[in-house]
Amino acid sequence: MSLLTVLHYPDPRLHKVAKPVAVVDDRVRKIVADMAETMYDAPGVGLAATQVDIHERIIVIDVSEEQNQLMVFINPELVWASAEKKAWREGCLSVPEFYDEVERPDQIQVKALDVNGKPFEIKADGLLSVCLQHEMDHLLGKVFVEYLSFLKRNRISLKMKKRAKELVGQR
């Protein structure tokens, strides 16, 4: 397994649209294993392939307290979303140290393929629902800060660019 580099906002590669996986084979399972390792190392509760510059519809999630219940979603599709919405304070490994409220459907139903290419469907609420929607957005090239006001997003962009410059200066 190997750790992958997580892209940071406002990297334009975060806005690429991921393509469906054609066959779930060992190549895909290697990507899943590397993504899981990267997510646990961060640590984060989810990771979309887009964030590690792989533009295929692959998501890993672990919302368990012990971080020992890996969930894998290949070619995820939204089947249903509740009319009821809920605001949640979100963070993102691609926008480190920024947190803000985003309103999304409270409950969702998603279908996907597992690591063996077998279809499954789940109904999600709470953190799993928020995280799944956050990750599916990544696969469409959307980062959560795009739900925030223009002013907030601009401030985040400027800070991230400044921080990137500082990091270069330290080398």
| Residue closest to ligand GNR when measured from CB atoms | 44
Tell me which residues in 7-66 interact with ligand GNR (CB under 6 A). 44-48, 51
The structure tokens 């800070």 sit at 159
Question: From the candidates 77, 135, 146, 166, which is the catalytic residue?
Answer: 135
110 Cβ contact partners less than 8 Å away, ≥ 6 residues apart: 73, 76, 77, 78, 79, 121, 122, 124, 132, 136
Residue 128 binds which of ligand GNR, Ni ion, none (CB < 5-8 A, kind-dependent): none
Binding mask 64-93 vs Ni ion (x if CB under 5 A, - otherwise)? ----------------------------x-
Residue 8 binds which of ligand GNR, Ni ion, none (CB < 5-8 A, kind-dependent): none
3-state secondary structure of 158: helix
What Rg, from alpha-carbon coordinates, does the chain have? 16
103 annotated active-site? no
Per residue in 113-144, is it b (16+ CB within 10 Å) or e — as a string? beeeeeeeebebeeebbbbbbbbbbbbebbbb
Q: Is 130 in the site for ligand GNR (CB under 6 A)?
A: yes
Q: Is 93 in the site for ligand GNR (CB under 6 A)?
A: yes
Q: Is 134 in the site for ligand GNR (CB under 6 A)?
A: yes
CA distances from 41 to 27, 32, 107 (A): 21, 14, 28
The pair of structure tokens assigned to 66 is 């012990």
Catalytic residues: 135
The contact set with Ni ion (CB under 5 A) reads 92
The contact set with ligand GNR (CB under 6 A) reads 44-48, 51, 90-94, 130-131, 134-135, 138
